[in-house]
Structure formats: C-alpha cells, structure tokens
C-alpha cells in the first residue's frame, strides 16, 4: 500500500489510463496521471486526448465487451495483493466452522501476525481446553485455508483488571484468576 494518498490516487488513475493507451503513450499517460493527482484538475491536453479517443471509439470495437463483476474483482484483488488479507478475514468469519459452535461462542480470534494466530478466550478453562485441541485446529485450518500460513496458535485467557489506584500504590500479590 502506498503511504502517500496523492501518489496512490495517481497510480489508480494511471492504471485506468494505461488500459486505454498504447505502449508509446506510457510516459505521457504517467505524466498526466501524476499531474492530475497532485493538482486535482485535468489539463487541456488530457481533455483533448480523451475526447479524441472517445471519437475513435466505436460500439463493437475490441475492449468494449461487457466484463463480469467477479473477474474484475479478482483482477483488482491480484493487483493490490489482497488475497492473504481476504484469507485472514475469511478465517475470522468462519471460526465457528473450524472449532465448532460451542468453542466459537467462548473464543474469538484477535490477531494473525508472523504466522501466529492469537485467540482470546472467555476463561482460562476454555484457553486450556483449546490448547489441548491445538494440533487438530491447526490441521483443520491448513486443510480449509491452504494459502494461509499459520504455524502456531496462542490461546489467551481474559484480561484481569488492574487494582492499582493512584500514584502511590504498592505492589500487591499480583493478578489472580478470579474472573475466568
């Protein structure tokens, strides 16, 4: 993903224009796309070029055929490399199918980073139960999502509240597992 929004907008405009231009017009199209992204206006030259292309366009020319929405979305996903993010989102949505309804009601996947899935459980008992099932869950994820690489799963219990109040609190006995 491009950090500069103007450059990102220019690249999107460039992709659209490159589909309509020849190879020799690449530099011209690139220049106008970047200029339009920065200034926010279309130059007179670019308006003239697009008008000329509209005049040359005929109803049954090549490239005028209707395109299925699914194929255009697939190409968009490939252009922006969204497949892995979609797989991750699908894993989070289909979590109940992987671990079962009862386990899914008491757990929630939180994060997937560096091939490690982090799952928050409602109690430490549920976290322990799912740690025992970790191998089966990893196997099921690998069969359901072959493109998604997950090497380990971390099951976390609920967060204990902090009992520290004020600037002069002394260390106590530490958090207890009284909430799970």
pLDDT in tens, 83-141: 888 888 899 999 999 999 999 999 999 999 899 999 999 999 999 999 999 999 999 99
The two structure tokens encoding residue 86:
């979609």
Distances from the Cα of 70 to the Cαs of 66, 77, 124, 177, in angstroms?
12, 10, 43, 50
Residues 83-156: name the CATH superfamily.
DnaA, N-terminal domain (3.30.300.180)
- 138 Cβ partners below 8 Å, 6+ apart? 150, 152, 153
Residue listed under structure tokens 């017009």: 25
Count Cβ neighbours within 10 Å for each residue of 70-107 and write b for 16 or more, e otherwise.
eeeeeeeeeeeeeeeeebbeebeeebeebbeeebeebb
What three-state secondary structure class fits 152?
A: strand
Share of the chain above pLDDT 70, in %: 70
Q: Between 109 and 168, where is the model more confident? A: 109
Run of H or E including 120: strand 116-121
Q: Distance (Å, rounded) from C-alpha 172 to C-alpha 79?
A: 54
Q: Is the pTM of this model over 0.85?
A: no
């Amino acid at each position: 993903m491009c950090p500069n929004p103007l450059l990102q907008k220019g690249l999107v405009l460039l992709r659209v224009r490159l589909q309509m231009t020849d190879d020799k017009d690449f530099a011209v199209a690139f220049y106008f796309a970047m200029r339009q992204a920065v200034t926010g206006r279309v130059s007179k030259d670019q308006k003239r070029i697009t008008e000329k292309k509209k005049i040359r366009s005929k109803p049954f020319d090549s490239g005028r055929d209707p395109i299925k929405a699914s194929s255009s979305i697939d190409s968009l996903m490939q252009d922006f490399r969204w497949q892995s993010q979609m797989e991750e989102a699908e894993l989070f949505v289909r979590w109940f199918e992987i671990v079962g309804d009862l386990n899914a009601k008491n757990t929630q996947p939180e994060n997937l980073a560096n091939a490690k899935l982090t799952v928050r459980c409602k109690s430490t008992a549920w976290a322990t139960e799912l740690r025992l099932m970790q191998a089966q869950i990893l196997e099921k994820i690998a069969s359901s999502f072959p493109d998604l690489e997950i090497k380990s799963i971390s099951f976390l219990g609920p967060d204990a509240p902090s009992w520290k109040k004020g600037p002069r609190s002394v260390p106590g006995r530490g958090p207890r597992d009284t909430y799970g």
